[in-house]
A and B are shown apart, each in its own frame.
Chain A
Amino acid sequence: MATTIADDLRPMHHPKTWVGKYVWSQDHKVIAIQYGVTAIAIGLVALVLSVLMRLQLGFPGLFPWIQPENYLQYVSMHGMIMVVYLLTALLLGGFGNYMIPLMIGARDMVFPFVNMLSYWIYLLSVLVLVSGFFVPGGPTGAGWTLYPPQAISEGTPGNQWGIVTMLGSLAIFIIAFTMGGLNYVTTVLQARTRGMTLMRMPLTVWGIFIASIMGLLAFPALFVAAIMMLLDHLLGSSFFMPAMMTMGQESNTQGGSPLLFQHLFWFFGHPEVYIVALPAFGIVSDLISVHARKNIFGYRMMVWAIVIIGGLSFLVWAHHMYVSGMNPYFGFFFATSTLIIAIPTAIKVYNWLLTLWRGDIHLRVPMLFAIAFLFTFIHGGLTGLFLGNVSVDVPLSDTFFVVGHFHMVMGVSPILVIFGAIYHWYPKITGRMWNETLGQVHFWVTFLGVYAVYLPMHYLGILGVPRRYYALGETSFIPESAHLANEAISVAAIIVFAAQFLFFYNMIWNLLRGPKADPNPWGAASLEWQTPQTPPGHGNWGPHLPTVYRWAYDYSVPHASRDFIPQNEPPSAEAPSEEAAL
């Protein structure tokens, strides 16, 4: 079973042609970029959908072509695309693919062919998803939660074809994800270079590693639910379909349990939140540490917290179902488990803050995004306590409070980290540097804008404004001023939307025309900045794999000559006094 370094090179696929290099590529870096670009492209569709929703909510009646069914379709597609096809795919397929091999000192993923297949199957799932816009009846309008029976009953948009493309696309996505996830997990376990112990890995790898394991165990729930609903819809079984009336006619279904679907969905859905959050936690830890020139505070606790959060997140799913009609006594258990999960999460926040304390904070654009993440995540995390705290959830569930909360915690926060991460690693990935001014403007508009969008939503929710409403209409309890709030939110949202084009301009223009970047512009210690070439060449490391002598956070070590020591620098080369002390 023994393999040597030379053997390690053997399964590597050496492309000869342009197509082999950039299209049917098995290089993790190319696949990562393919994943990233596809995810951002489909994410843009979802972003446009959110603007359309804001147009309707802010200025009801002004856009007669937005009908209730269109609005619900925007809601559903926006949610599903953002959660699954953008965030999951970008953080794991994109960053996971790019960073894991580089950060652990491997030449590639352990199964490069499967990795390539994973991307192409993901692309297929995206195409099937998009095809939903063109089938008769349009895409599904059942909400991203796709609850039966409405998802496949009369009265819901896209209940004939749209739901089929959605469920089919999800099933395909899950196959793609499983291929990718097996790769990420096995690579972290099997391909770490010599000296790279588990506890020497950067937290980015830890976050992606645990999130991949969670994805492997959580996505099957969605897969099973999707297949069962497809059978209900296409072949007339009754897994989820009870005896009911549809449009005045008695259905020929009976006995099925809509709540069974909800349990399956949230058994996937809650871990999914952390599948998105944990990579973001990991990445932001590294951003903060590098730009504060200080090791991440309490590294071990950070790792344990990631593992504990990952484990606990499988025990909290029914906190999405407090008022679903399930056995109400479950509420006691799930409220307790949900609030317990807040403790490791809070520890992570403390440790980020304590990393900044007594640091040497360079306020460059990636760090600004990391700081903005801390602010929005603290906000979103705390509002989550309201919703987890069972009885407090009763008045707030299904209101705009929920919308504000989850956008803050799993929309805005991870997206801010993704921006920070792109600014941070752009010089390594492209070999060029972006424009600082554009980056600053992009940061300020995005950060302040999203807060203006989501803070008022919480208050509308506390007032009682329900979510997924095409129009508020006449009510006795919603004051006229709430409509004003909706207008203001919409304006802010459109400004934030527009600001994203600065980002795209900055990234694309400088890809071609940007100044050549330093191989390690931030002075980072982790392995991905120590590649012999920038951008890293095929096989990443030249003839010899790097050897790792230390953890990824040797910043501002006392007596060291520089304020960072790369992971692959042997101890003897650095400060002899330090070795004497050992």
Chain B
Amino acid sequence: MSLISRLAEKSWENPGIAEYREPDSYRPAAATVGVYVYFGVATVIFTLIAAAYLVRMGIPSAVDHGTGEDWSPMPEPPLLWINTGILVLSSLAWEAATRASRRDDVTRMRSMVMAGNALGVLFLVGQVLLWWHYQTAGYYLSANPANAFFYLLTAIHGLHLAGGIFAGGRTLGQMAMRADGQRICRNVRLCTIYWHYLLAVWLLLAALLVVT
């Protein structure tokens, strides 16, 4: 039933349960739904910061707040692209892990989860290096709003990824303790979706930073 027809149900008619199956027979796991709902939250966070970025930058729009005169964009060091590459690889490793889990290839799944996590950590290290690079070049947070937005966006994105690495680490732990296989496969899939989501966010953010 589509959502519309479900919301149009005249529920006072036809008491009974004949047409309703056991809910557990068709519903996805709660964790999956929870992760998708969280994507909504994270999307709002990143969208609002991006919107604030554009307004503060002084993009001509109806919201003419007379700002942006002090805006000076940051340079794009090669490290930015290296980090992006690492995150892409990390996401690919997770994708490989999910595919392995579908084929019940446990060894490959484990190694790919490890690779995905390790590349995630490497990305974070790269981001910290990038910060350090900017700091030494004099692009302080307080010096310019462009810098401040950069640090803010990368910090929030990094925190999200750190959360993902925590979940990925837990999944590794569950593998080590030989927990329920179905549960592990589900967690691997969720981590993969989450990584893809963060990769998409990062690409959009990087595009925003580069274009402006």
Query: Is chain B a partner of chain A in the same complex?
Result: yes
How many residues of chain A are within 8 Å of chain B by beta carbon? 69
Q: Which residues of A contact B62 (CB under 8 A)?
A: 327, 329-330
Contact A193:B45 (CB < 8 A) given known A304-B7, A582-B14: no
Q: Is the CB of B17 within 8 A of A195?
A: yes
Q: Which residues of B contact A508 (CB under 8 A)?
A: none
Chain A nearest CB: distance from B20 CB in Å?
A: 5
Q: Is the CB of B48 within 8 A of A300?
A: no
How many Å lie between the Cα of A547 and that of B18 in the bound state?
Answer: 11
Q: Which residues of B contact A3 (CB under 8 A)?
A: 24, 29
Chain B nearest CB: distance from A183 CB in Å?
A: 8
Q: Which residues of B contact A4 (CB under 8 A)?
A: 24
Q: Which residues of A contact B67 (CB under 8 A)?
A: 255-257, 260
| Per-residue interface assignment for chain B, residues 14 to 42, with 1 indicating a CB less than 8 Å from any chain A CB and 0 otherwise | 11110011111101111101100110110
Chain A residue with minimal CB distance to B30?
Answer: A110
How many Å lie between the Cα of A530 and that of B176 in the bound state?
Answer: 44
- Confirm or deny: A430 has a beta carbon within 8 angstroms of a beta carbon on chain B: no
Q: Which residues of A contact B30 (CB under 8 A)?
A: 110-111, 186-187, 190-191
| Per-residue interface assignment for chain A, residues 561 to 574, with 1 indicating a CB less than 8 Å from any chain B CB and 0 otherwise | 00000000011000
- Confirm or deny: B52 has a beta carbon within 8 angstroms of a beta carbon on chain A: yes
| 8 Å CB contact of A228 from B52, B63, B66, B186 | B52
- Confirm or deny: B68 has a beta carbon within 8 angstroms of a beta carbon on chain A: yes
Q: Is the CB of B52 within 8 A of A239?
A: yes
Q: Is the CB of B65 within 8 A of A551?
A: no
Q: Which residues of B contact A549 (CB under 8 A)?
A: 15-17
Q: Is the CB of B15 within 8 A of A571?
A: yes
| 8 Å CB contact of A216 from B11, B37, B55 | B37
Chain B nearest CB: distance from A7 CB in Å?
A: 8
Q: Is the CB of B142 within 8 A of A237?
A: yes
Contact A295:B12 (CB < 8 A) given known A238-B148, A547-B17: yes
Q: Which residues of A contact B49 (CB under 8 A)?
A: 224
Q: Is the CB of B11 within 8 A of A299?
A: yes
Chain B nearest CB: distance from A216 CB in Å?
A: 5
| Per-residue interface assignment for chain B, residues 164 to 193, with 1 indicating a CB less than 8 Å from any chain A CB and 0 otherwise | 000000000000000000100010000000
Q: Is the CB of B29 within 8 A of A111?
A: no
Contact A303:B56 (CB < 8 A) given known A111-B34, A550-B15: no
Q: Please give me the 10 A-B residue pairs with the lowest Cβ-Cβ distance, nearest first.
A: A236-B142, A255-B70, A237-B148, A110-B30, A550-B15, A195-B17, A551-B11, A199-B11, A199-B9, A220-B45
- Contact surface of A with B, Cβ cutoff 8 Å: 1-5, 7-8, 110-111, 178, 182-183, 185-187, 189-195, 197-200, 216-217, 220-221, 223-224, 227-228, 231, 235-239, 254-257, 259-260, 263-264, 267, 295, 299-300, 303-304, 307, 326-327, 329-330, 547-551, 553-554, 570-571, 582
Q: A224-B49, A236-B142 are in contact. List 7 more A-B contacts (CB 8 A).
A: A194-B21, A227-B156, A228-B52, A238-B70, A239-B145, A260-B65, A267-B48
A and B contact pairs by CB, cutoff 8 A, 22 listed: A1-B182, A5-B24, A111-B30, A186-B37, A190-B27, A192-B23, A198-B9, A216-B41, A217-B41, A221-B44, A223-B45, A228-B152, A238-B142, A255-B68, A255-B71, A256-B145, A259-B65, A260-B52, A264-B48, A267-B48, A299-B11, A550-B16
